[in-house]
Amino acid sequence: MRFVSTRGGTEPASLSDAIARGLAPDGGLFVPDAFPEADLEALRTATTTAEVAVALLTPFFAGDRLEGELTAICREAFNFPSPLVDLPRDSAVLELFRGPTAAFKDFGARFLAATLSRLSDDSHISSADHPDRPVTILVATSGDTGGAVAAAFAGRPGFRVVVLYPKGMVSDRQERQLTCWGGNITALRVRGDFDACQRMVKEAFADESLREEYRLTSANSISLGRLLPQMVYYAQASLQYEQRHGTPAGFVIPSGNLGNATACYWARKMGLPIREIVLATNRNKTVTRFVEQGLWEPAPTVATLASAMDVGNPSNMERLFSLHGGQSGARNAIRAVLVDDDTIRETIRRGPSEWGQVWDPHTATAVTVREAIPSPHWVIVSTAHPAKFEAIVEPLIGRELPVPSALAELLDREMDFQEVDAKLDSLAAVLT
């Protein structure tokens, strides 16, 4: 299989090349040149998430240098559960927070780490002038991605991770996860919003001298190595729901940079039984304005309770435009609903009594949207553990939340970060 840029200005690349590069040379995002049809029989007989991953991703790895490594990569990455829990109101919740950093980003980050560790000699992330330098993973985060990537690469020989996060726009516990590592992980608190962090990463990739000298690659959802594994839990959950209830489910997805949503659209494109997809957004209006008015106008980021979704210029919309044949097709295919902070609070407050669940602010956006849909058979995608947002959640539900053991261990560590301006020069100075 070959992968092409959303902007059409790059020669097709192999899977390994696309993952190693991170961003296409023309600034676009890599997408498959054609989507294979999923082997539903093999998927239905798979008994573990790793087996589902192998069955789903085999066509993407066919003929690539990583083809023989796929089973080992999947076993390494998919070694924690993602249960689909039935709820009232003909609904279910897909719990994606059972990994080491208590957020759905663990799936993609661990898969990417397992993949890149087998590609560290790739020509697109190697340097003829500096062959002994580690591969540098650049990652901009609005909260959860950076912690997951840091956890996945911490202590891996041959890799250095630089995490950029917006000052004052992540929760206290998220910041501790981002800054507790030391060693081969460098945390940068940026004086700006997530979009500024994301811009700095893209500018670094556009600078050929920086890219080659420091062997740069990406771990954001612009990376193909993040998107492909995120299809796996949608494949598994959609088949489980259909088997239990005899009908396909729709999915309501909390959405910020749109990588998680894109993975669901890609899974449906491959033929998985996904009836509908609805995006739940916070007060950042870029996506809902596009759906309602047909205007794609990225805007400055607005800070909200669902901080990991605070994105004013979602990168993965390029992939959704590509998937649906352009902006007009995407507008007709995408359904998105905005949820404000007051409603998020109320949904969290009602969660224990009405759903028997405690919701984090991001999952609460999806719950709110589900409650407004009259039709049955919907899966609410739960993207983070509520204990990561205890300052918001605990006052609303009136009790303390138990902290998952893996998260508690990270929170006991000391913070280690540098504070920088939102400029490429600041990032370049850290890289030297």
Domains defined for the chain, CATH in brackets: 80-103+226-400 (3.40.50.1100)
Angle between helices 105-116 and 145-153 in degrees, nearest 10: 40
Of 128-142, 255-269, 402-416, the poorest mean pLDDT is in: 128-142
Q: Look at residue 132 in the predicted model and tell me its pLDDT.
A: 73
Q: Look at residue 23 in the predicted model and tell me its pLDDT.
A: 87
> 277-317, pLDDT tens digit by residue?
999 999 999 999 999 999 999 999 899 999 989 999 999 99
* Bigger pLDDT: 223 vs 14: 14
Q: Say how many C-beta atoms besides its own lie within 10 A of residue 33's C-beta.
A: 11
Q: Look at residue 80 in the predicted model and tell me its pLDDT.
A: 95
Q: Does 94 have pLDDT greater than 90?
A: yes
* Cα angle 318-196-304, degrees, rounded to a multiple of 5: 85
Q: Look at residue 136 in the predicted model and tell me its pLDDT.
A: 94
> 229-251, pLDDT tens digit by residue?
999 999 999 999 999 999 999 99
Q: Look at residue 121 in the predicted model and tell me its pLDDT.
A: 66
**Which residue matches tokens 């993609």?**
108
Contact 382, 97 (CB under 8 A): yes
Residue 410: in which H helix or E strand, if any? Answer: helix 405-411
Tokens linked to 432: 């030297």
Taking residues 55-63, what's their average pLDDT?
Answer: 98
Query: Helix (H, G, I), strand (E, B), or coil: what is residue 183?
Result: coil
Q: Does 106 have pLDDT greater than 70?
A: yes
Q: Look at residue 171 in the predicted model and tell me its pLDDT.
A: 86
> 11-28, pLDDT tens digit by residue?
999 999 999 888 899 989
Q: Does 336 have pLDDT greater than 60?
A: yes
Taking residues 34-49, what's their average pLDDT?
Answer: 97
> 112-144, pLDDT tens digit by residue?
999 999 987 655 555 555 567 899 999 998 777
Q: Does 420 have pLDDT greater than 90?
A: yes
Mean pLDDT across the chain = 94
pLDDT range class, residue 352, cuts 50, 70, 90: very high
Q: Look at residue 66 in the predicted model and tell me its pLDDT.
A: 97
Give the integer Cα–Cα distance in Å for 31 and 322.
Answer: 8
Comparing CA positions, the residue from 73, 30, 37 lying closest to residue 53 is: 73
Q: Look at residue 218 in the predicted model and tell me its pLDDT.
A: 81
Of 97-111, 125-139, 218-232, the poorest mean pLDDT is in: 125-139
Taking residues 74-93, what's their average pLDDT?
Answer: 97
Taking residues 338-367, what's their average pLDDT?
Answer: 98
Q: Say how many C-beta atoms besides its own lie within 10 A of residue 424's C-beta.
A: 17
Of 142-146, 209-213, 325-329, the poorest mean pLDDT is in: 142-146
Q: Look at residue 123 in the predicted model and tell me its pLDDT.
A: 52
pTM, rounded to two decimals: 0.91
High-pLDDT (> 70) share of the chain, %: 97
Buried b (16+ CB within 10 A) or exposed e, 140-175: bbbbbbbbbbbbbbbebeebbbbbbbbbebbbebbb
> 389-402, pLDDT tens digit by residue?
999 999 999 999 99
Comparing CA positions, the residue from 4, 22, 21 lying closest to residue 13 is: 4
pLDDT range class, residue 411, cuts 50, 70, 90: confident
Q: Look at residue 267 in the predicted model and tell me its pLDDT.
A: 98
